[in-house]
Amino acid sequence: MALQSLDITRRSATTTPSPGVRETQKVAKLIDVSKCIGCKACQVACMEWNDLRDEIGTNHGVYDNPLDLTDKSWTVMRFSEVEVEQGKLEWLIRKDGCMHCADPGCLKACPAPGAIVQYSNGIVDFHEENCIGCGYCITGCPFNIPRISKKDSKAYKCTLCSDRVSVGQEPACVKTCPTGALVFGSKEDMIQHAEERIVDLKSRGYKNAGLYDPPGVGGTHVMYVLQHADQPQIYNNLPKDPQISLLVELWKGVLKPIMSLGLGLVALTGFFHYVTVGPKETE
Amino acid sequence: MNDDDLIQRFKPADRANHWLTAITMILAALSGLTLFHPAFFWLTNLFGGGTWTRILHPFIGVVLTVSFWFLAQRFRADNRITDADREWVRRIRDVVANRDQNLPEVGRYNAGQKYLFWIMVATIALLLVSGIVLWQPWFAPWFSIGLTRVAALIHALAAFVLTAGVLVHIYAVIWVKGTLRGMTRGSVSRAWAKHHHPAWYREVTKGTK
């Protein structure tokens, strides 16, 4: 949710151009997993800035708390203990949340005009006052991020602090990160920063270190530096090659326009049949 | 029209059941279209806005399914596909061009009506099952995201086939004069019956004049 904007690239369920006279710089948040200590300050900052207080849950015997994203927990640390090679245990901690895809599956699937927008800076934002609660965004998302609130049946997720970013500030989680695992800036700068980090990681023996900016969704505006970029799935099932599901593409990309046209044609065919061939009459 | 010229085609209960199905079908189609393509989103105004449309659509669908289930019990026996029906379909060009004299003898329902019946049986069943998988906020959370994707596709496809079929059904009533009163008043003219459903006409008038 943010203020009215003149830099909207895409708007859900809208077939005409959105207000987009203003072009803004593409931004990105870079999450350096190798620097994360799992302190969850980012989770707290997210709650604080966005004024969200999730239900107090129960301890599940693991560090993950809350156990999953919710309508009120827009980011969670996911802890994985992985034996990356024989005898070498690594504790991989991934901050999960919306990836802000350049080609957002949620937006593609959404049937409510203006419930999901993509700004020209790359942030994908939900405008809950337009949300009708159908859950199609969940169906469209390749990362399993949106959550429907039990209270109001609207979908919620990380906004990348679009309100802060629009006035030149970094997201709250980035602001608070004590180790510099989170950085924010232009997407170009973040890629460059990541490259430096990858050189460092490689020099320390992480030969498969790399940047996670999956091309299947056009790249993302939240990127990871991974020590083992060749196997993202060890980071609590981060998808290796995320894409908008073929089923969603078929549904929203192919069937939606063709079948709408088809119904119109059926009705028109009837009309023209009537005025050319005419009715069947009995005396 | 003289009462002697009329024969009964649908009993009051048949008509009520048909029209309950028809009304819910139209409401389900209109509310469903709003969520299918933004060109139809304005139709959400008929249902009290987008959120109300999302809330009402599945309940309308359930009433449609239940109503159609009863209708199917009433009409099932008369909708068995026969060889004459397959012949009728082969001569679809004659049907469309109003060359009715070339068509095989039709019973209570013609092949077009029968196939629509079975299309409705199949698509409404698919819509019910896939609709439950998509039903927010009640049932959708029980199912995997992968399954909801399959369900969304099936729901859209089945809804398209059903809606297109129903549009043809509606047009057929406009096209074939004298048909509508069978479902509104329950009776049709003898001439209509003799012309369009001669085998059925013979059967119902057997033993009378």
Q: What is the DSSP letter of A251?
A: I
pLDDT tens digits for A136-179? 999 999 999 999 999 999 999 999 999 999 999 999 999 999 99
Q: Which residue has the higher pLDDT, B58 or A19?
A: B58
Å from B150 to nearest chain A CA?
A: 7
How far from A70 is each of A1, A98, A154, A220, B164, CA to CA, in Å?
17, 12, 12, 21, 40
Rounded mean pLDDT of B171-178?
Answer: 96
Q: How far apart are CA A226 and CA A223, in angstroms?
A: 9
| Set B18, B57, B169, B195: catalytic member | B169
Reported confidence tier of residue A1, pLDDT bands at 50, 70, 90: very low
Strand A124-126 versus strand A88-96 pairing type: unpaired
Is it the case that residue B209 has pLDDT exceeding 70?
Answer: no
Rounded mean pLDDT of A37-45?
Answer: 97
Q: Which positions ≥6 away from A144 have C-beta within 8 Å?
A: A138, B145
**What is the Cα Rg of chain B in Å?**
20
Is B197 a known active-site residue? no
Q: How far apart are CA B77 and CA B185, in angstroms?
A: 22
CA nearest to B182, candidates B113, B93, B82: B113
Size of interface A-B (CB pairs under 8 A): 132
Q: Verify whether the Cβ–Cβ distance A134 to B35 is below 8 Å.
A: yes
Q: How far apart are CA A80 and CA A90, in angstroms?
A: 8
How confident is the model at residue A22, as a pLDDT?
87
A150 three-state secondary structure: coil
How far from B106 is each of A196, B95, B201, CA to CA, in Å?
80, 12, 9
User: What's the ipTM?
Assistant: 0.92
The pair of structure tokens assigned to A56 is 């107090």
Counting Cα atoms < 13 Å in the Cβ hemisphere of A172 gives: 20
Percent of chain A with pLDDT over 70: 98
The secondary element (H helix, E strand) that includes residue A224 is strand A222-226
Reported confidence tier of residue A3, pLDDT bands at 50, 70, 90: low
Q: How far apart are CA A176 and CA A49, in angstroms?
A: 11
**What is the Cα Rg of chain A in Å?**
22
The pair of structure tokens assigned to A220 is 């993302």
How confident is the model at residue A5, as a pLDDT?
80
- Residues on chain B touching A150 (C-beta within 8 angstroms): 137
The pair of structure tokens assigned to A131 is 């949300």
Is it the case that residue B171 has pLDDT exceeding 60?
Answer: yes
Is it the case that residue A70 has pLDDT exceeding 70?
Answer: yes
Q: Which positions ≥6 away from A15 have C-beta within 8 Å?
A: B38, B39
* 8 Å CB contact between B32 and B57: yes
CA nearest to A183, candidates A61, A69, A36, A40: A36
Nearest to B150 among A133, A144, A247 (CB): A247
A129 three-state secondary structure: helix
Q: How far apart are CA B99 and CA A249, in angstroms?
A: 44
Reported confidence tier of residue A23, pLDDT bands at 50, 70, 90: confident
How confident is the model at residue B52, as a pLDDT?
98
pLDDT tens digits for B18-35? 999 999 999 999 999 999
Q: How far apart are CA B88 and CA B107, in angstroms?
A: 12
Measured in residues, chain B has a length of 209
Rounded mean pLDDT of A37-62?
Answer: 95
Q: How far apart are CA B146 and CA A258, in angstroms?
A: 23
- Residues on chain A touching B154 (C-beta within 8 angstroms): none
pLDDT tens digits for B49-62? 999 999 999 999 99
Is it the case that residue B3 has pLDDT exceeding 90?
Answer: no
Nearest to B145 among A134, A138, A277 (CB): A138
CA nearest to A27, candidates A137, A116, A159: A159
The domain segmentation of chain B, as residue ranges, is 10-77+110-184
Q: Verify whether the Cβ–Cβ distance A15 to B176 is below 8 Å.
A: no
Please provide the average confidence, as pLDDT, over all residues in chain A: 95
How confident is the model at residue A282, as a pLDDT?
85
Nearest to B177 among A14, A267, A280 (CB): A280
Reported confidence tier of residue B38, pLDDT bands at 50, 70, 90: very high
Counting Cα atoms < 13 Å in the Cβ hemisphere of A91 gives: 9
Is it the case that residue B81 has pLDDT exceeding 90?
Answer: yes
- Residues on chain A touching B178 (C-beta within 8 angstroms): 281-282
Is it the case that residue B1 has pLDDT exceeding 60?
Answer: no
Percent of chain B with pLDDT over 90: 95
Nearest to B98 among A130, A144, A280 (CB): A280
Fold exhibited by the domain B10-77+110-184? Fumarate Reductase Cytochrome B subunit (1.20.950)
pLDDT tens digits for B119-136? 999 999 999 999 999 999
Interface test with chain A among B6, B33, B34, B37, by most A beta carbons within 10 Å: B37
Å from B110 to nearest chain A CA?
A: 14
Rounded mean pLDDT of B137-154?
Answer: 96
Please provide the average confidence, as pLDDT, over all residues in chain B: 95
pLDDT tens digits for B99-118? 999 999 999 999 999 999 99
- Exposed / middle / buried, residue A35 (Cβ in 10 Å: 0-12, 13-18, 19+): middle
Query: Across the strands, what pairs with A95?
Result: A77
How confident is the model at residue A271, as a pLDDT?
97
Is it the case that residue A182 has pLDDT exceeding 60?
Answer: yes
Strand A210-212 versus strand A27-32 pairing type: unpaired
Q: Which positions ≥6 away from A264 have C-beta within 8 Å?
A: none
Is it the case that residue B2 has pLDDT exceeding 80?
Answer: no
> To the nearest 10°, the Cα dihedral for B3, B8, B14, B15?
-40
